[in-house]
Structure 1
Amino acid sequence: MAPATNLAGLRTHWRNDLIAGFSVALVALPLALGIAMAAGAPPISGLISSIVAGLLATFLRGSQVAINGPGNALIVIIASAYGLLGPDSFPHILGAVAVSGAVQVAFGVLRLGRLGDLIPGAVIQGMLSAIGLIIVGKQLHVMVGQTSTAPSAIGVFQQLPESLAAMNPFAALIGVVSVLILLFHPKVKAKLVHFVPAPLWVILVALPLALGVNALDGGDFFSRHWRIDEQLLVQIPADLFGNLAHPDFSRIGEPEFWMVVATITLVGSIENIVSVKAVDKLDTYRRSSNLNRDLVGMGLSTIASAAVGGLPVLTVIARSSVNVNHGAKTGWSNFFHGAIVLVIVLFLAPVMRMIPMSALAGILVYTGFKLSAPHVVRDVLHKGPDHFLIFGVTLAATLTWGLLWGIFIGLVAEVISHLVVLDLAPRESFSRFWSTGVEAVRKEGEPLLLRVRGVANYFQIPKLKRALEAADGGHIVVDFSQAVLVDNTFLEYVHDHGRRYERANHENELDVVGLEGHRAFSDHPDALHVQEERLRAQRLTPRQKNIAQLASENEWTFDARREWDTEHLEDFNFFRVHPIEYEDTVVKGAYAVGETTVGWTVADVTFDEGALIPEVHHTTAQVIDMPIELPELIMEREELLDRVLELAGFQDIDFKHFTKFSRRFVLKGPDEASIRAFMTRELLEFFEEEEVYHVESTGQKLVVFKSMRLASAREVEAMLGFSERLVHHLLGVADGALEPPTDDDRLEDGPQSDRAAAQ
């Protein structure tokens, strides 16, 4: 059941939301400073945006666990606004920001949030990658203690050799160290390291480095004396509230002013809608956001932020991911994050003035790289060469002519690519293009049939959306047999809607038929479909060959093909908060336990931490279909941080006389009594003697995996052996053949006392 909202949610979940909000604030502080400075705005403007986002947007928006504040796109938007309105035009830019907020409110009132579905994914990814490259180019200059005066993105990169030749070696050292911290932070296994967000580690390391350099009066390099001078530190005004900028609307009649308004509105709205939809996928309770209400909330918050000198307020995916991963339950975590940033600004402003700008630049260089990293190109290529073409055109156009032209050219290129793929005479191509329709066929006792005709591309999504929303539950079949072309954006919308529709009610079903006669441009389920399906042979890696041989020797089935339908994993808590991309290298078999057959599946699972700029991880996991009902539980390796968190009230179920088990494992679940009743003496002894695996039960299924990496064939065999022994024990528990723990093994005083006994 989803948590209550408003004051009821605060009373119930204040502890989870406060801890999550605190963690987010530690990430938001350096990012807000860095984004504002990279955009050429006063650093305080980014902090104001974060504060207003927490204290106001929380109560106006349409999302639950999203975090709001200044987004990465603002770096490019505000910087381009200076190019249009002049170098000293920040008050005029604030005026444009306020007007943009009003336009966003109008969009929400007119229910135009649905237009976010019309932007092709390749165009969005191309735009975001271009933003990432622009951020990297601009911030590499700052990272070495210099700035770029180039008016274009290409010029920014062309000036890099000059900045490198004139770099401040101490600023460059701090910048490089900052990037290295961000690179290696995800690879460190200690939970204590992960409890402190990577951007905060950057500040904690950069501050003493800068202070130490200046305390030693710098040093001489290349016949010049270098220090971390005041102009290389964050500039926070001494009078925080007396020097705030305010909107100036005196240039509202100029075309340049409205060009800035259009850029902020369009790009900001796209980033906001995409981020909200991505955060909904991270939400463990699968709550859906109201996009129109969210536009109204972000618009009103943007107006309020601009009124006191702040940047626009958007939904931000990276901070939202931190929020979810730290256990946020309700929107109050966003409020706490804003309040904590305000407290830090009021009481720690002198400390912020000592932060070197090269450290913040390092954070943004890393962020920009993540937006345009090789894995982004890989993901685009997975969806087909047509998708990659539109991505590349949008990327190049944005870098050359700016955000608005980049989006427009990407949209036009998508349509042209569809006309080329159809390979028909121009008149017939346009006839097919404009004759597209969605026909709803209702017959008593049969599913609702939605028959799609013509060219099903992003232009036609509103027609499909109206037909889907008119359905009142039950079984829906979307038939593409009469569609000559079905594009990625259209298919992605159908599949996303189907997942939401089926989760809303267990009796709901949505099936897609009619694509069998189409050719798919890749093996991705959302790939462009035109004619007959194309099958491609796959080459196996040496590791896959070893696993295939293991499967053959044991008469198991093996399939190396990539599988995009991974809903069977989404019931597990781990994969609810780590969105799955796909699984492959699938092995299926069964255990024979007496007369009972227990089926299992092992697969390589590729999943993300985050969404728009994810850290991609892999694991080899086994799912076991249990023939008995088990208690819901999660069991994983215990680390020092888990013991610290337990003292703060986070429960861990321990057993007094099984100290080795209590030291090795964190055991959690919604029903402690049923878990204690189920954990027999033999089971506890079994786990004490075996290797440590992550074991999670949904009641009917188990998932087992060991490491956040792919397992070798030998490790797969070891995991299968562990699971077989575990299944024998579990079926013994169900049969009553194993001895339950005595009352003396359990602890009447609860987990806190268990821990004390275990120690």
Structure 2
Amino acid sequence: MFKHLNKDFPASIVVFFVAIPLCLGIALASGAPLFSGLIAGIIGGIVVGAISGSSLGVSGPAAGLAAIVLAAISKLGYENLLLAVVIGGAIQIVFGLLKAGIIGYYFPNSVIKGMLTGIGIIIILKQIPHFFGYDGDPQGDWAFFQVDGENTFSELINALNNISPGATLIAIIGMTILILWEAVLSKKGKFFKLVQGPLVAVAVGIIYYLLTRDSETFGISADHLVNVPVPDSFDSFVGQFTLPSFEMIGTMEIWITGFTIALVASLETLLCVEATDKLDPHKRTTPTNRELFAQGTGNLMSGMVGGLPITQVIVRSSANIQSGGQTKMSAILHGFLLLISVVIIPNILNYIPLSVLAAILFLVGYKLAKPALFVQMYQAGWKQFVPFMVTIIGIIFGDLLIGISLGLVVGIVVILIKSYQNSYFLHIENVENGGKTVKMRLAEEVTFINKGAILKELNNLENDSYLIMDVTKTKYLDRDIIDILDDFKIKAEEKNIDIKIVSERGTVENPESYLEFFELDKKPA
């Protein structure tokens, strides 16, 4: 965990700056005390980060649960909600012990890519108002239709009619620093790699605020700044923690709410795990059952001290990856930074302009939703493009679960149209040669439904193995399986595993690209 500290620590700083406004904004959107979001962020970083097997995933309060939490607080009260969070955490631990984490493997890559892209677009749309200094809604409000009667697009119009010159100017300066730092300065020397652009942008934002706060034109008002609760004594700090009420533990409504939290949080976590593993440059695989156990432990502890429910969050995870994080230490350190900041320097945090943080998130969103990805998915064929677009539209105009559900339904329909046979078996034959040669014969039709089984067998291969993959009888090979093979190529090189593909077109050793070798949706010729 300490091997890559030189990369993990700078990445943790970036994730910390991303997490601060999100923790506060999601708490505000949930109708909960602001401190509850920070508690969830701290526990998500330190506790979940330590227990989880995810190398790059970062956990904290999630916007996908905001509507559930808001309804539960209105109906049950905050202390009873905390009891439901505790129960939800216990149920998640049971899910992990029952090995329910395999569910995440049954989502096609087109839907996962659509989820990432949809979230990227939402980040951009939701950060534009904050970029221009219009902070009418919290940064945690990710819904299209908002409780104040506005929607995502009408908020953009409102922002253009309420531009703050000071907030906009420092946002543009911050954006310029971020782009120059990544594109030019980071290649100039070790200093620019050690000190990250977002840290510099935030520091410049604080200095700008302090120098211009008396200016009527270019000053930044208090409602355009980070707003961390500032206790005036140790007692007031301790008073921010709330204990759950166990008096209603036998009430059915509490258990229904707890189960709902557990189910939604588990599904959102598994989807984020799949997406994060996809973004991982080293293509490491997160143990999903352990992840459910870690998330359940985090939710149990968060509910016990007054925090919001926790999931793995793709916004923070992708920011971690894009900032060069290498191990789980970056997630853990970001949790400690949250803890230290709310205890020692809350006043300094409250000098950070939200527009600078919006600039940071704007670039995160762009990297998730690059225009080139739309071209790539279109060129991959309609069976990839349609579920991809449906997922994006569902997420933008609905929410994460609606988008994922619609994309999955379309993906299943596509598979049913294409897969006219039922052969989904994976045949593995061990060949006598020192116990290190494995022959894997794929079935006539292999789809994303087989992804979990194939991925498991590939990950179980020992170092220095020799894999013979026989696809001579395979008539349909899903793009998801080819993506797995291309991803596994990196891991195979690290584990010194040689691969031979046997097909009707002939035999090839360690192909440069499986994507180019196979003809999609056809029997290999």
TM-score, normalization by structure 1: 0.56
- Is 1:414 aligned with 2:415? no
Please tell me whether the aligned partners of residues 392 and 403 of structure 2 are also in contact (alpha carbons under 8 angstroms). Answer: yes
Q: How do 1:303-322 and structure 2 match up within 5 A? A: 303-311=300-308, 312=310, 314=312, 316-318=316-318, 320-321=320-321
Letter aligned with residue 182 of structure 2: P
Q: CA deviation at 1:28?
A: 2.8
Quote the offset at 1:278 in angstroms.
4.3
Cα–Cα, structure 1 residues 496 and 132, in superposed 2: closer, same or farther, change >3 Å?
A: closer
Determine if contact 1:492/1:526 at 8 Å carries over to the other structure. no
Q: Which residue of 1 aligns with 2:56?
A: 66
User: Which of residues 415, 418, 425 is equivalent to 1:437?
Assistant: 425
Alignment partner, residue 639 of structure 1: none
Secondary structure of the 1:186 match is helix
Q: Distance in 1 between matches of 2:425 and 2:514?
A: 26
**Is residue 7–residue 324 contact of structure 2 (8 Å, CA) maintained in 1?**
yes
- RMSD of Structure 2 on Structure 1 (CA): 3.9
1:233 and 2:225 aligned? yes
- Pairing partner for 1:31 from 18, 24, 29: 18
More strand by share: 1
The corresponding residue for 1:550 is: none
Match of 1:449 in 2: 439
CA distance 1:130–1:438, shift in 2 (3 Å)? same
Counterpart for residue 514 of structure 1: 503
Aligned to 2:473, the other structure's residue is in SS state strand
Q: What SS does the corresponding residue of 1:215 show, helix, strand or coil?
A: coil
Q: Once the two structures are superposed, what CA deviation does each residue of 1:531-556 show, in whole Å capped at 9, x if it has no partner? A: 2669xxxxxxxxxxxxxxxxxxxxxx
Contact 1:516 1:532 in 2 (8 A): no
CA contact (8 A) 2:16 2:334 kept: no
CA deviation string 1:653-690 (max 9, x = no partner):
xxxxxxxxxxxxxxxxxxxxxxxxxxxxxxxxxxxxxx
- Which of 367, 388, 391 is the equivalent residue of 2:388? 391
Residue 343 of structure 1 corresponds to which residue in structure 2? 340
Look at both structures and tell me which one has the larger radius of gyration over its CA atoms. Answer: 1
Distance 1:462 1:365, change over 3 A: closer
Q: How does 1:358-757 map to 2 (within 5 A)?
A: 358-381=355-378, 383-421=380-418, 429=420, 432=421, 434-441=422-429, 448-464=438-454, 474-497=465-488, 499-500=490-491, 503-504=494-495, 506=496, 508-514=497-503, 516=505, 524-525=515-516, 529-531=520-522
Asked whether the equivalents of residues 454 and 483 of structure 1 are also in contact (C-alpha less than 8 Å), the reply is yes
Aligned-residue offset at 1:200: 1.5
Q: CA deviation at 1:457?
A: 0.8
Task: Indicate whether 1:253 and 2:243 are aligned.
Answer: no
Whole-angstrom distance in 2 between the partners of 1:20 and 1:471: 29
Deviation at 1:26, TM superposition (A): 2.4
The unaligned stretches of length 5 or more in structure 1 are 220-225, 423-428, 535-759
SS in 2 for 1:56: helix
Q: 2 CA distance for matches of 1:366 and 1:96?
A: 36
Q: Counterparts in 2 of 1:135-146, with a 5 A limit? A: 135-143=123-131, 144-146=133-135
Alpha-carbon distance change, 486 to 360 in structure 1, aligned in 2, over 3 angstroms? same
Shift of residue 165 of structure 1? Answer: 0.9
* Offset of residue 350 of structure 1: 1.0
Deviation at 1:253, TM superposition (A): 1.8
**Match in the other structure for 2:117:** 129
Tell me the SS of whatever aligns to 2:135.
coil
Q: Counterpart of 2:264?
A: 263
Moved more, 461-470 or 386-395: 461-470
Deviation digits for residues 281-322 of structure 1, max 9, x if unmatched? 17xxxx765443333223312332343344525375345437
Relative distance call for 1:288 and 1:129 in structure 2 (3 A) is closer
| Aligned-partner Cα distance in 1 for 2:81–2:181 | 37
Aligned twin of 1:274: 275
Name the structure where helix makes up a greater proportion of residues. Answer: 2
Q: Secondary structure at the match of 1:530?
A: coil
Letter of the 1:157 partner, please give it: F
Query: Structure 1 counterpart of 2:384, which letter?
Result: H
Distance 1:148 1:263, change over 3 A: same
Change beyond 3 A, Cα 1:94–1:180: farther
Say which SS state the counterpart of residue 483 (structure 1) adopts: coil
Instruction: Return the alpha-carbon distance in structure 1 between the equivalents of residues 368 and 477 of structure 2.
Output: 27
1:340 is displaced (CA, Å) by 4.0
**In structure 2, distance between residues paired with 1:470 and 1:322:** 28
Contact 1:50–1:313 at 8 Å: present in 2 too? Answer: no
Change (3 A) 1:100 1:493: farther
What is the 5 A alignment of 1:168-317? 168-189=164-185, 190-191=188-189, 192-216=191-215, 218-219=216-217, 228-239=220-231, 240-245=237-242, 253=253, 259-276=260-277, 278-279=279-280, 281=282, 290-311=287-308, 312=310, 314=312, 316-317=316-317
Which letter maps to 1:127?
Answer: M
**Aligned partner letter, 2:230:** A
Q: 1:247 to 1:384 in 2, by over 3 A?
A: farther
Identity across matched positions, percent: 23
Alpha-carbon distance in structure 1 between the residues aligned to 2:206 and 2:144: 31
Name the amino acid aligned to 1:453: A
8 Å contact 1:133–1:368 — kept in the other structure? yes
1:512 alignment partner, SS class: strand
Name the CA shift for 1:344/1:443 in 2 (closer, same or farther; >3 Å): closer
- Equivalents in 2 of 1:146, 1:526: separation in Å? 51
Q: 1:81 to 1:363 in 2, by over 3 A?
A: farther
Q: Which moved more, 1:177-186 or 1:245-254?
A: 245-254
Amino acid at match of 2:201: V
Structure 2 counterpart of 1:165: 161
Residues 489/197 of structure 1: CA separation in 2 closer, same or farther (3 Å cut): same
SS in 1 for 2:468: strand
